[in-house]
């Protein structure tokens, strides 16, 4: 390593050591600090956040580029934790870190918060649960996340740790608290994705593991994944019925300041055969409907759906989300005066969503 680079790396490590201080506590990764943390609560008009997955990155970034004036934040789905507490690429063989696009977005005033996730075929399901209960590994992970934000030139980190155990709840809350303190100390933001629920316990362990009040007290944004009401292993049905989304948010804002809540609007759906569904986007759904001469119907909340029979005689039912069904979710965000909406995910979406979003934002494009 050249001398200049070695000096820079040494300075960064010294700065990280001064910023990140995580003290062990029984059953969790850190001790609560009495020092108030910056809230970073969004103010003014609602913001728009877009997710770009590494497996459909070209189309995702193309959507961002075509509509770049509308975005406030973009989260590329790029990173994952490992058992040592380090941060690695979510899929080493296929994840391409596009530094040029990151630079372009930031030059236009769009914040980039890359997503660090434990969801993926190559990510051990218990990796986060294990690191949460080992103080040394947790401290290493907090440092690794801060170093990623700093060395990558990002504006912060988006944390998407899903399907944790109920017994991880206190440890996860403490970890989020210490990560927020570290990132804020470095001038960075923290967003945290959470599962939707209608009560503190929710309906299974992954809901119980996420303490909305504790997370909302320290994170700058809490991104509520208000979709998969019907999912790949359920019977067919609407993915994000507007009435259910309203119920989720009505309870969420009793736990988290509304200005911090970012509502997840899904732009996808499923093609089911029985209780087995495969993901479809708007373009795929419309192509299937045209190929099989299927009539697209609308539920009361405008969610589109249709049925068809394939060449092998299998009966399919398709439900997904498009521009017309998006309006119900935008109405929920407006009703509760939320901090914004995030789109899961960009690439293959109904292009008419951009006109709906432009109207909802209620401000001229940047």
Within 8 A by CB and 6+ apart from 293, the residues are: none
Is the pLDDT score of 263 beyond 60? yes
Calculate what percentage of the chain has a pLDDT beyond 70.
87
Residue 45 pLDDT class (50, 70, 90 cuts): confident
Q: Tell me, what's the pLDDT at 163?
A: 94
Q: Which of 28-37, 121-130, 171-180, 286-295 has the lowest mean pLDDT?
A: 28-37
Residue 15: pLDDT band with limits 50, 70, 90? very low
- The one-character DSSP state at 32 is P
Local structure of 6: helix, strand or coil:
helix
C-alpha distances (whole Å) from 127 to each of 87, 169, 217 are 12, 15, 25
Predicted local distance difference test score (pLDDT) of residue 86: 98
User: Across all residues in the chain, what is the average pLDDT?
Assistant: 90
Quick check: helix, strand or coil at residue 24? coil
SS3 at position 73: strand
Q: Which two tokens stand for residue 316?
A: 């399919």
Give the pLDDT score at 125.
Answer: 87
3-state DSSP call for residue 166? helix
Q: DSSP secondary structure string, 252-312? A: HTTTS-GGGEEEEEE-EEEEEETTEEEEEEHHHHHHHHHHTTPPPEE-TT--EEEEEE-TT
Mean pLDDT of 265-286: 98
Q: Which domains does the chain have, with CATH numbers?
A: 41-266+322-361 (3.20.20.80)
**Is residue 43 very low, low, confident or very high in pLDDT (cuts 50, 70, 90)?**
low
Q: What is the DSSP string of 192-253?
A: EEE---SSSS-SSHHHHT--HHHHHHH-SEEEE----SS-TTSPS--SS-HHHHHHHHHHHT
H/E element, 50: strand 47-53
Taking only the tens place, the pLDDT of each residue in 20-30 is: 443 332 222 22
150-180 residue pLDDT tens? 999 999 999 999 999 999 999 999 999 999 9
């Amino acid at each position: 390593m050249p001398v200049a680079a070695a000096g820079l790396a040494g300075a960064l490590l010294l700065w990280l050591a001064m910023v990140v201080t995580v003290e062990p506590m029984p059953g969790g990764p850190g001790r609560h600090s009495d020092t108030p943390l910056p809230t970073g609560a969004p103010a003014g008009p609602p913001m728009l956040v877009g997710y770009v997955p590494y497996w459909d990155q070209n189309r995702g970034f193309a959507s961002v580029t075509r509509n770049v004036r509308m975005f406030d934040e973009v989260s590329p789905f790029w990173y994952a934790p490992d058992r040592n507490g380090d941060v690695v690429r979510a899929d080493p063989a296929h994840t391409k870190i596009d530094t040029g696009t990151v630079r372009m977005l930031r030059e236009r005033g769009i914040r980039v918060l890359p997503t660090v996730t434990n969801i993926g075929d190559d990510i051990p399901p218990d990796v986060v649960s294990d690191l949460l209960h080992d103080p040394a590994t947790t401290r290493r992970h907090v440092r690794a996340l801060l170093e990623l934000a700093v060395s990558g030139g990002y504006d912060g980190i988006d944390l998407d740790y899903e399907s944790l155990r109920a017994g991880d709840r206190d440890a996860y809350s403490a970890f989020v608290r210490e990560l927020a303190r570290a990132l804020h100390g470095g001038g960075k933001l923290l967003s945290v994705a959470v599962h939707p629920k209608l009560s503190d316990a929710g309906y299974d362990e992954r809901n119980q593991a996420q303490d909305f009040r504790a997370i909302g007290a320290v994170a700058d944004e809490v991104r509520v994944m208000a979709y998969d009401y019907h999912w790949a292993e359920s019977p067919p049905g609407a993915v994000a019925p507007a009435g259910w989304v309203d119920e989720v948010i009505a309870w969420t804002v009793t736990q988290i300041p509304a200005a911090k809540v970012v509502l997840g609007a899904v732009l996808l759906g499923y093609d089911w055969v029985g209780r087995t569904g495969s993901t479809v986007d708007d373009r795929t759904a419309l192509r299937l409907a045209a190929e099989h001469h299927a009539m697209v119907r609308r539920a009361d909340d405008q969610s589109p759906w249709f049925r068809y029979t394939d060449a092998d005689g299998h009966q399919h039912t398709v439900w997904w989300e498009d521009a017309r069904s998006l309006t119900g979710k935008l109405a929920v965000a407006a009703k509760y005066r939320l901090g914004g909406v995030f789109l899961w995910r960009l690439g293959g979406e109904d292009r008419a969503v951009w006109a709906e979003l432009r109207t909802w934002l209620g401000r001229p494009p940047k």
